[in-house]
Amino acid sequence: MAHGTNVWDACIAIDGGIMAKPKANKLAVSKDNWETPDSFFKYWDDIYKFDGDCAATMENKKTHSYLSNAFEEPWYRMGWCNPPFSEKDKFIDKAIEETECGNKTLMLLPASTGALWFKKAIENCSLVVFVVGRLRFKGAPSSADFDTCLFLFEKKWPGRTPHVEWLELEPKYRK
């Protein structure tokens, strides 16, 4: 695991050009329920000691406490969130809103660097960690056909650029 050894302080400039309307993702419904691999979650839980899972059911919660109606409830002091990807925009907005009362969220998302929601996430996070290697989510037929990253949302001063890191997956995290 190379987390922390390949760290760059990067100033990220994202061009706000004209964007094509995204195509509908045929796999969006099933991907909404893809679970984080347990060993990958544990890696982050050891660092952040999550108080709760912000997007879960009783069956797939990663922590004892969890939310199944995240938009109607306050989040956690330190929350974990692997949101349904079809609702990532709303979850990002909520995570940003939660920073106002001091709550922090680590959110796992596709590394879709050209998407508007990605720009918003970058502008509002304090840390982004790009995952090197493709995660194999629980419930997915194989390793994901997209890259992933994690955003740390926490209260920060306007204009602060996020810290950027890379995490190289070992084979065990891809299963």
Please work out, in degrees rounded to the nearest 5, the angle formed at the alpha carbon of residue 138 by the alpha carbons of 134 and 139.
Answer: 110
Determine if 71 is a binding residue for ligand SAM (CB under 6 A). yes
- Return the DSSP state at 171: G
Residues 17-46 touching ligand SAM, rule: CB under 6 A, are 32-36
Calpha distance 14→9 (Å, rounded): 16
- The distance of closest approach from Cβ of residue 137 to ligand SAM in the complex, given in angstroms and rounded to an integer, is 8
d(CA 45, CA 39) in angstroms, rounded, equals 10
**Whole-angstrom Cα distance, residue 116 to residue 41?**
26
Take residue 84 and report the two structure tokens written for it: 């349904």
For ligand SAM, the binding residue among 40, 44, 50, 67 (CB under 6 A) is 67
Minimum gap (Å) between residue 9 Cβ and ligand SAM: 29
**Rounded to the nearest whole angstrom, what is the least distance from the CB of residue 29 to ligand SAM in the complex?**
11
- CB closer to ligand SAM, 62 vs 136: 62
Residues that bind ligand SAM (CB under 6 A): 32-36, 53, 55-57, 60-62, 67-71, 82-84
